[in-house]
Amino acid sequence: MRKKRIALSQVEAGQAVADPVENSSGATLCPSGTVLTQRLLERLRNAGIAFVVVEREDDGEDDTRPQRLAIQKARFENVEDPILLRLKPIMEHVLRDHPA
């Protein structure tokens, strides 16, 4: 098994978190090893969690472009800083149009 950081929108019910999931205040929402359910995924979304680290079989595959774009979208979901928002389309271009 290996750890994989992925956008919450890409997580499927039944996957287990490899690292504790914490909110912005540092409170643990899910300890490591927690198997995620649909209800728990919805609660994490409502808590503003954008990505988690899950346990994953080592299949030898790296992230696909759609996965990288989903992670990028999640990272910018609640960003309001105008300077960071100017970086968003640049990062999307790099992730979409250039190999990993």
Do residues 11 and 45 share a domain? Answer: yes
Do residues 52 and 77 share a domain? Answer: no
Rounded CA-CA distance 77/93 in Å is 17
Residues facing residue 66 across a β-bridge: none
Do residues 34 and 69 share a domain? Answer: no
Rounded CA-CA distance 73/12 in Å is 18
Do residues 22 and 39 share a domain? Answer: yes
Mean pLDDT, rounded, of the chain: 86
CATH number where 52 lies: 3.90.105.10
pLDDT at res. 63? 62
Do residues 46 and 69 share a domain? Answer: no
Q: Which domain does 85 fall in, by range?
A: 65-97
pLDDT tens track for 64-96: 778 888 888 888 888 899 998 998 898 888 887
Do residues 49 and 86 share a domain? Answer: no
Rounded CA-CA distance 93/90 in Å is 5
Q: Is this prediction's pTM over 0.85?
A: no
Q: How many domains does the chain have?
A: 2
CB 54 within 8 A of CB 30: no
